[in-house]
């Protein structure tokens, strides 16, 4: 009596190993993500200083990502590109900022092109505002009222 034993070919095992490796590598590949609003070079080329107004710029470039709070009116169009491998922290590859400056009459005064290299590192102040009252431990909070109140006297 002869038994039949399936024989797995070497090429089939190799193909399975390659597929498994490809699936593992696909899960760990770079993921590049664009964010923000980056106007096209054609749209930026149409802007003329002293001619176009805020309404014209919004029609050409869209709504700005941010506006300036101090020192004249400026609209910022901010975009960046990040990459992330698997579950690791994202890394910024590129940042582009288009700053459109307006004069007092609301017309374009100038345009600046900024990149990641133009940014400045800002140190966050670690101070805390103190609150009013006493600093008490948990034990003081629990037993602080013992003996604090006098018993009522009956007349």
pLDDT digits (tens), the chain, 155 positions: 566 555 556 667 777 777 766 666 555 666 777 788 888 888 888 888 989 999 999 999 999 988 988 877 999 999 988 888 877 888 888 888 999 999 988 899 999 998 888 878 888 888 888 777 777 788 887 887 776 766 777 76
Phi/psi region, residue 144 (left: phi>0; alpha: psi -120 to 50; beta: rest), is: alpha
Give the containing element (helix H, strand E) for 139. Answer: helix 138-143
Distance CA 133, CA 148 (A): 18
Give the residue extent of every domain in the chain: 29-118
Q: Which of the listed CATH numbers 3.30.1450, 1.25.40, 1.10.10, 1.10.20 matches domain 29-118?
A: 3.30.1450
pLDDT at 128: 81
Q: What is the three-state SS of 75-106? A: EEEEEEEEEEECCCCCEEEEEEEEEEEECCCC
pLDDT at 35: 82
Q: Is 21 exposed, middle or buried (0-12, 13-18, 19+ CB in 10 A)?
A: exposed
Q: Residue for token digits 């609003």?
A: 37
Give the containing element (helix H, strand E) for 148. Answer: none
Distance CA 93, CA 83 (A): 7
Evaluate whether 117 touches 92 at the Cβ level (below 8 Å): no
Distance CA 60, CA 109 (A): 16
User: Which stretches within 4-103 are classed as H helix?
Assistant: 10-27, 41-45, 54-61
């Amino acid at each position: 009596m002869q038994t039949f034993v399936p024989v797995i070919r070497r090429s089939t095992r190799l193909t399975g190993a390659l597929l498994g490796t490809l699936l593992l590598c696909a899960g760990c590949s770079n993921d590049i993500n664009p964010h923000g609003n980056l106007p096209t070079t054609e749209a930026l080329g149409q802007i003329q200083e002293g001619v176009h107004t805020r309404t014209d710029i919004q029609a050409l470039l869209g709504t700005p990502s941010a506006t300036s709070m101090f020192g004249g009116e400026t609209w910022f169009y901010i975009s960046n590109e990040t990459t992330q491998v698997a579950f690791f922290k994202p890394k910024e590859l590129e940042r582009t900022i288009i700053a459109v400056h307006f004069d007092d009459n609301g017309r374009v005064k100038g345009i600046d092109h900024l990149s990641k290299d133009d940014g400045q590192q800002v140190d966050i102040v670690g101070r805390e505002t103190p609150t009013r009252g006493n600093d008490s431990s948990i034990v003081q909070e629990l037993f602080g009222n013992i003996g604090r109140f006098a018993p009522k006297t009956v007349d």
